[in-house]
A and B are shown apart, each in its own frame.
Chain A
């Protein structure tokens, strides 16, 4: 199985994020590119605490030169540096990202995500925004063409897509896998290799799967894939079913009761849905109030459990709609043939 980092080198993704950091922090991280080879998963800025990277699920503190160092000798991040990073992330315009800040994250060009922590400003029992941001978590978005291939045969029946749910804890690769599933469906790879692209609608509520820029996806989500970005899933599904005649809907992170209702609407229309949810396993998903009814009604014909082992992403099990394991082997999604790289550094 050949994987490709399409359009961006590994360090390219990290470098894309550096421009959202103040010059002094950027200098340290540019040094770190030599000492801590990419791929990096996260860049962590916590006011008054050491600058850190998360690489293969492991936290590394960095010294002034960007070398891994114990916490006591690592370079601390100033509160002013966190504030300036937030200015750069929001284009000096926090008000323009109010809804995103309320949810605790901002999606950056290229699908990267900046998570925020700080003092919550509430009104009437609802979070209005995050004030005095004290921590930033810049998560590097990765485009991994081909990672969906081992899973694809399970999600198709005579070339037609079956509704499927990806389960996994945060950081287990659900979004990366969904993006490649969307690409495979829209490119025709999903339809049994026959080359018939599936009419796919990608509902990208958090702007991180396709990362549209000027209407064009900056990440590969498939040639026959329409993208609906922003907006609640329920409304986006209604638009897709009314106007775009999809064979397949792809969406990230089921989390609200309305999402379940929207899936029901899609099922009644005979349209398959590939989606994901936070849950470590089938058993845990069955205990979740939102997911339990969907699983009991056998809305999903396939459920795939994702897991990280030793910093590697993989499939732990593929189940049918009743929860019976169809394949319980560990299948690594990250390795295989060495990455075949397209394009040079940006």
Chain B
């Protein structure tokens, strides 16, 4: 009976620790994933600007429904705020939505900096210039994503190993 209890405790400690490691590993890969979604969303916005010449309120409302994950979230939020407060400068609405994205998701200030820079130019110039700004932002986000993805893979391996072996060590010492 005592052996069974020990075995169960051992399994719980190792299993729990491994799960925690997996969660941390998933969390470290979330940032590049969100950056990839934002990059893909900006490319969709470029199509709206370039081919459809669709005004931002309409383009953002549509992309809020169709763009992936973080990008859809950002576009939807800006679109809703534009509808609610058309008087406000777009730069301010965009900035607020980007900051909210950082608070609610896993992205930090350095990850969001290209988006904040884009907000100062969005909608304020002719088509070619808008495309240049969007392209630059998408490229900056892509570079940041590539950097984080390498780091994330190493961190994910570390967290998975640490979770399993840490749990194992704890179980051996404690039990």
Binding site for B on A (CB under 8 A): 19, 22-23, 84, 87-88, 90-96, 98, 101, 121, 128-129, 131
**Which residues of chain A are within 8 angstroms of B90 by Cβ–Cβ distance?**
87, 92
Give the docked Cα–Cα distance between A129 and B129 (Å).
11
The residues of B that contact A94 with a CB separation of less than 8 Å are: 123-126
A129 to B90, CA, bound (A): 20
A23: chain B residues within 8 A (beta carbon): 87
Q: Which residues of A contact B122 (CB under 8 A)?
A: 92
Q: What CA separation (Å) do A98 and B127 show in the bound complex? A: 7
Q: Which of B38-60 contact A (CB under 8 A)?
A: 49, 53-57, 59
Q: Which 3 A-B pairs have the closest CB atoms?
A: A93-B55, A91-B55, A92-B123
Q: Quick check: is B150 within 8 A (CB to CB) of the other chain?
A: no
How many angstroms from the CA of A19 to the CA of B56 in the assembled complex? 18
Contact A129 B82 (CB under 8 A): no
A22-B87, A87-B90 in contact; A93/B123 too (CB < 8 A)?
yes
Which of the four size classes fits the interface of chain B?
20 to 34
CB-CB contacts below 8 Å: B83-121 with A = 86-87, 89-90
B130 interfacial contact with A, CB 8 Å: yes
| CB of A310, distance to nearest CB on chain B (Å) | 38
Residue positions of B touching A, CB distance < 8 A: 49, 53-57, 59, 82, 86-87, 89-90, 122-127, 129-130
Q: A96-B54, A131-B125 are in contact. List 4 more A-B contacts (CB 8 A).
A: A19-B86, A84-B89, A90-B55, A95-B130
CA–CA, A178 and B122, complex, Å: 39
Q: Which of B54, B87, B126 contacts A128 (CB 8 A)?
A: B126
Interchain nearest-CB distance for A207 vs B (Å): 15
Contact B49 A87 (CB under 8 A): no
**Residue of B82, B122, B123 with most partner-chain A CB within 10 A:** B123
| Minimum Cβ distance to chain B for residue A213 (Å) | 14
A96 with B87: in contact, given A87-B123, A121-B126, A129-B126 (CB under 8 Å)? no
CB–CB B57/A95 < 8 A: no
Among A88, A92, A94, A121, chain B packs the most CB atoms within 10 A around the CB of A92
What's the minimum C-beta distance from B59 to chain A, rounded to whole angstroms? 8
Chain B hits for A95, CB < 8 A = 49, 53, 123, 125-127, 129-130
Identity of the chain A residue whose Cβ is nearest the Cβ of B59 in the assembled complex: A93
Give complex CA distance A93, B82 in Å: 12
Q: How far is the CB of B35 from chain A (nearest CB, A)?
A: 25
Q: Which residue of A is nearest B49, CB measured?
A: A95
10 A-B contact pairs sorted by A residue (CB < 8 Å): A19-B86, A84-B87, A90-B55, A92-B57, A92-B122, A92-B123, A93-B56, A95-B53, A95-B129, A129-B125
Residues of B within 8 Å of A22, CB to CB, are 87
Which residue of B is nearest A93, CB measured? B55
**Cα–Cα distance between A95 and B130 once the two chains are bound (Å):** 7
A128 to B49, CA, bound (A): 17
Q: Is the CB of A98 within 8 A of B53?
A: yes
**Shortest distance in angstroms between B129's beta carbon and chain A's nearest beta carbon?**
8
A4: shortest Cβ distance to chain B, in Å?
Answer: 32
What is the bound-complex CA distance between A91 and B59, given in angstroms?
A: 11
**Known contacts being A23-B87, A87-B89, is A92 close to B127, with CB within 8 Å?**
no
Residues of A close to B124: CB separation below 8 A: 87, 94
The answer, among B56, B87, B89, for a CB contact under 8 Å with A91, is B56
For residue A128, which residues in chain B have a CB less than 8 angstroms away from its CB?
A: 126
CB neighbours (8 Å) of A84 from chain B are 87, 89
Kindly name the residue among A23, A93, A121, A129 whose own CB sees the greatest number of chain B CB atoms within 10 A. Answer: A93
Q: Which residues of A contact B127 (CB under 8 A)?
A: 95, 98
